[in-house]
Amino acid sequence: MSDRAAIGVDTGATRTRAGIVDERGQVLMRTERPTDPLAGTKGIIAVVEDLLERDADLDVKVECVGVGAAGFVDFPRGAVTFSPNLIYDDPFIRDAVESRTNLPVVVENDANVAAWGERAFGLAQGTSELALITLGTGIGSGFVVNGRLLRGYGGAAAELGHMVIDPDGPECKCGLRGCLEQLASGQALARMGREAVEQDPRSSILSFAGSADSITAEHVARAGREYDETARTVLRRAGRSLGIGLSNVANIFDPEVIVLAGGVVGAGEAYLGAVRDQLVAMTEAQKRRPMRLDVTSLGKDMGIIGAAALALDESST
């Protein structure tokens, strides 16, 4: 008898990636294509059909499809209700994919599926209380509470990136000020890097980037790794902000494990060390149980694996 398997789809702002994932969380086959910002849903269907055409050689039965989508998701309806970056030509993704594949489909927010993947196959296996934070251009989050995903009343929960931690901080495109995303994400590192080289034009941030306008988080991280003190100050400030955000997560959720994921976790010790120091200072000050803080082991497949894991779990209940 064949193993059960699912297709997991990860719809990023630039690439739509998909894979066939078995019950042990192994990715058996992958595909990807550029995300068309005017045809996000068509792109999802295309990667799913691509895998279904090629799965004959695998000794598994593809039973269902899970889709991770950026934005607010109405889980019961399988629809995206609001998406800041991607424009789905058809927001009713579940119905659109089901009608083409005749497989049961679940649609869930991308950070939520990542949290589910960590719990199913990552560093937080079996825990009922988990916080996952994605650190990329923006900041996303997914929370498992009492063993279930936190979705909220209208699917708009777990937007940790827009938790205000400094009411007089920089403006955020969400309309608030001092959101965590403006203080600790990739875009925040880039902005803080640009501001820092105005004060210190000799920083190697600028030499790596070529011009101030081209500075990215990666330039700041690279300069930090080479002991550029201006870059390290930026990284430590951002890390401290994330640590305050995680301290709030600890006070609100008391999770068993906090898992960090996304490109910015590679920003180096000046950043991650400051995150850890701030969280430890908080647990010690409050005499709280020390909390496990880890970096995801699922790497770039996190979204694919999480979406497939959620589809398999939902279809077996």
Q: Judge contact between 132 and 114, C-beta under 8 A.
A: yes
Q: Which of 47, 62, 93, 157 binds its own copies (CB under 8 A)?
A: 157
Q: DSSP class of residue 287?
A: T
Residue range at the interface with its own copies (CB under 8 A); choices 49-57, 59-67, 223-231, 245-253: 245-253
Helices and strands, counts by H and E, the chain: 10, 12
Number of residues located near its own copies, criterion CB under 8 A: 46
Q: Using CB under 8 A, pick the residue from 176, 212, 280, 295 that binds its own copies.
A: 176
Give yes or no for residue 166 binding its own copies (CB under 8 A): yes
Exactly one of 53, 56, 175, 211 binds its own copies (CB under 8 A); which one?
Answer: 175
Closest separation in Å from C-beta 161 to its own copies:
8
H-type alpha helices, the chain: 40-54, 93-101, 110-121, 181-184, 186-199, 204-209, 217-225, 229-253, 269-285, 302-315
List 3, 38, 59, 148, residue binding its own copies (CB under 8 A): 148
For the bound state, the minimum distance from the C-beta of residue 30 to its own copies, rounded and expressed in Å, comes to 33
Q: Please classify residue 6 by burial: count the beta carbons closer than 10 Å to its beta carbon, then call 0-12 exposed, 13-18 middle and 19+ buried.
A: buried
Are 305 and 121 in contact, with CB atoms under 8 Å apart?
A: yes
The Cα–Cα gap between 186 and 216 comes to: 8
The CA distance from 148 to 271, in Å, is 31
How is the chain split among helix, strand and coil, in percent rounded to 5? Answer: 45, 25, 30
Distance of closest approach, residue 259 Cβ to its own copies, in angstroms: 14
Comparison of 34 and 154: residue with beta carbon closer to its own copies = 154
Among residues 113, 163, 235, 238, the one that binds its own copies under rule CB under 8 A: 163
Using CB under 8 A, pick the residue from 27, 156, 212, 280 that binds its own copies.
156
The binder of its own copies chosen from 162, 225, 276, 300 (CB under 8 A): 162
Using CB under 8 A as the binding rule, the residues of this chain from 54 to 83 that contact its own copies are 82
- Exposure of 192 in the CB half-sphere (CA atoms within 13 A): 26
| Minimum separation from the CB atom of position 76 to its own copies (A) | 12
CA distances from 182 to 23, 97, 120, 172, 189 (A): 38, 35, 31, 6, 9
Residue 229 CB, shortest distance to its own copies, in Å, is 22
Select the residue interacting with its own copies from 256, 269, 277, 314 (CB under 8 A): 256
Q: Which of 60, 188, 282, 293 binds its own copies (CB under 8 A)?
A: 282
Q: d(Cα 191, Cα 198) in Å, to the nearest integer?
A: 11
Q: Which residues bind its own copies (CB under 8 A)?
A: 82, 127-129, 145-146, 148, 150-160, 162-167, 174-176, 240-241, 244, 247-248, 251-256, 281-282, 284-289
